[in-house]
Amino acid sequence: MNRVHHLFSRRHPITTSAFFGQTPTGNTAVSLATMELGSSELRVGYVTTSPGGLFPAQYHLGGPEIAFILQGQGCIEVLSECYPPASVHNEQPLYRVDLEPEDVVVIPEGLLYQVRNTTSASLLEALVCFPSQVSSYWPDGTLADHEEEKQ
């Protein structure tokens, strides 16, 4: 990701921030932009998972997340469809969805899931978009959200 063009920055201020206070080892999660859209904001981020790696289980509240797979192969493993998901956590996935480049994935709020890179050679890369009021949580209910940074 060498360049990100913020075409609306003259009309709508854009800020950047970290995605998570502490990103899990072997993964990258960077917020690319937050922009105002009327009464709400849209956040766009870039996320990677290393070859053979796992982005640990999480869920969000406040709205859905949409991911666009840029590169690599992997899967989303759904661990619980119940809310609160931390109360019904399965070690084995209920089901999995295979991912490949150009796939679009809509992840509803309250779904406990993890992302696995199923290759041993390349990063799994994705752009993720979600309303700014969305908060992410680890399975134990601990807030996993971003820490704001000033540009």
Looking at per-residue pLDDT, the higher value among 24 and 20 belongs to 24
Over residues 66-124, the pLDDT tens digits come to: 889 999 999 999 888 876 665 556 678 888 899 999 888 888 888 899 999 999 999 99
In a domain, 146, yes or no: no
The region of weakest confidence among 13-27, 60-74, 82-96, 131-145 is: 13-27
In a domain, 121, yes or no: yes
In degrees, rounded to 5, the angle at the alpha carbon of residue 36 between the alpha carbons of residues 33 and 38 is 155
Name, of 8-12, 23-27, 61-65, 84-88, the range with top average pLDDT. Answer: 61-65
Looking at the chain, the whole-number percentage of residues with pLDDT higher than 70 is 68
Rounded CA gap, 63 and 130, in Å? 7
Is 41 in contact with 35 (CB distance < 8 Å)?
Answer: yes
Any idea what the CATH number is for the domain that residue 128 is in?
A: 2.60.120.10
Containing structural domain, residue 60 = 14-137
Q: So what's the pLDDT on residue 6?
A: 40
In a domain, 107, yes or no: yes
In a domain, 85, yes or no: yes
- What the block records as the tokens of 150 is 């000033």
In a domain, 133, yes or no: yes
Residue located via tokens 């704001």: 148
In a domain, 6, yes or no: no
* CB-facing half-sphere around the CA of 51: CA atoms within 13 A: 4
Is 118 in contact with 63 (CB distance < 8 Å)?
Answer: no
Q: So what's the pLDDT on residue 47?
A: 92
Over residues 36-46, the pLDDT tens digits come to: 666 678 888 89
The region of weakest confidence among 14-18, 27-31, 75-79, 135-139 is: 14-18
- Segment 55-76 mean pLDDT: 92
Query: How many domains are contained in the chain?
Result: 1
Is 79 in contact with 69 (CB distance < 8 Å)?
Answer: no
Amino acid at 19: F
Rounded CA gap, 97 and 73, in Å? 11
Q: So what's the pLDDT on residue 128?
A: 92
Quick one: which of 138, 147, 118 has its CA closest to 16? Answer: 147
Amino acid at 47: V
Q: How large is the C-alpha radius of gyration of the chain?
A: 15
Q: So what's the pLDDT on residue 132?
A: 85
In a domain, 54, yes or no: yes
In a domain, 71, yes or no: yes
Full-model pTM: 0.72
